[in-house]
């Protein structure tokens, strides 16, 4: 891999598995110093063990607001700065909306909206002081177009899209770029029920023009571009990566 992220310091949430782990690995392979954060301590430690020179594990519950600014402080104390924040961690509880508990919405918003906001605010203080930084929010195509059975999740990811656009406009003058990746159907644990059922998988794939689900590795080059200096004029953008599903009539 090339070293286009050499020496840059990144915090990646939800790094224990799936998209977050893939992005953390991709950043490290390109020379970045990565702090991977998640609740799953064992998975994080396995990730860090793959490349201890570049990846450090930080177990944290993103529902605990008091720990969020401390997470950014940990990154800065360890590496002296922070250049990139990837807000990837998320929860997607399925529910029949008429019976969905309010507390489930609170939990979903805490992880999917409040945590990215608090981490961006904490990282932003450093970005503004040092003259620049990158925030990459991971949303979902359900934030672009709502999905039945995932009303709370869809609403939270829609909020992430507006958060991305608004913050990008507000902080552009400080040299901070805020962008968003909205994945469609990818082969992660969140899709386990689909992946384990040939019938469900076939039905799901038929809705995707590419006729397959995405691989998490296919999100890494885009994330690396948005983290690199070469993307300094890309700001407030939402990149839908879904094999063409959102674009079909």
Average pLDDT over residues 134-160: 94
pTM of the model: 0.94
d(CA 141, CA 166): 19
pLDDT band per the 50, 70, 90 thresholds, residue 194: low
Q: How many CB atoms lie within 10 A of CB 190?
A: 19
Residue 2 has pLDDT above 70, yes or no: no
The sign of the torsion formed by the CA atoms of 224, 240, 140, 125 equals: positive
Find out if CATH 3.40.50.720 is the number for domain 9-240.
yes
Helices then strands, counting H and E runs in the chain, come out as: 10, 7
pLDDT band per the 50, 70, 90 thresholds, residue 249: low
For the sheet with 133-138, list strands across it.
Answer: 55-59, 33-38, 9-13, 84-87, 133-138, 176-183, 238-241
Closest CA to 7 of 26, 34, 25: 34
- From the candidates 153, 163, 171, 186, which is the catalytic residue? 153
Q: Do 83 and 76 touch, CB atoms closer than 8 A?
A: no
Tokens at 156, concatenated: 């939270």
Residue 197 has pLDDT above 80, yes or no: no
d(CA 142, CA 145): 5
Is 181 known to be catalytic? no
C-alpha distance from residue 80 to each of 75, 83, 84, 150 (Å) = 8, 10, 13, 40
């Amino acid at each position: 891999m090339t070293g286009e992220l050499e020496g840059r310091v990144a915090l990646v949430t939800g790094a224990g598995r799936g998209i977050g782990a893939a992005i953390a690995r991709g950043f490290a392979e390109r020379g970045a110093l990565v702090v991977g954060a998640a609740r799953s301590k064992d998975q994080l430690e396995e990730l860090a063990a793959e490349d201890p020179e570049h990846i450090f594990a930080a177990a944290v519950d993103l529902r605990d607001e008091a720990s969020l600014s401390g997470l950014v402080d940990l990154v800065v104390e360890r590496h002296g700065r922070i250049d990139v924040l990837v807000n990837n961690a998320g929860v997607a509880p399925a529910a029949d909306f008429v019976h969905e508990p309010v507390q489930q919405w609170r939990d979903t918003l805490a992880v999917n909206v409040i945590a990215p906001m608090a981490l961006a605010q904490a990282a932003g203080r450093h970005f503004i002081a040092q003259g620049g930084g990158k925030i990459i929010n991971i949303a979902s195509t359900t934030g672009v177009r709502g999905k039945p059975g995932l009303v709370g999740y869809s609403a939270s990811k829609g909020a992430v899209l507006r958060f991305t656009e608004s913050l990008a406009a507000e902080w552009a003058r400080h040299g901070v770029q805020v962008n968003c990746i909205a994945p469609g159907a990818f082969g992660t644990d969140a899709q386990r029920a689909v992946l384990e059922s040939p019938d469900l998988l076939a039905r799901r794939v038929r809705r995707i023009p590419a006729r397959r689900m995405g691989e998490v590795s296919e999100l890494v080059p885009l994330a690396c571009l948005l983290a690199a200096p070469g993307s300094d004029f890309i700001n407030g953008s939402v990149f839908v990566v879904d094999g063409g599903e959102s674009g079909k009539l």
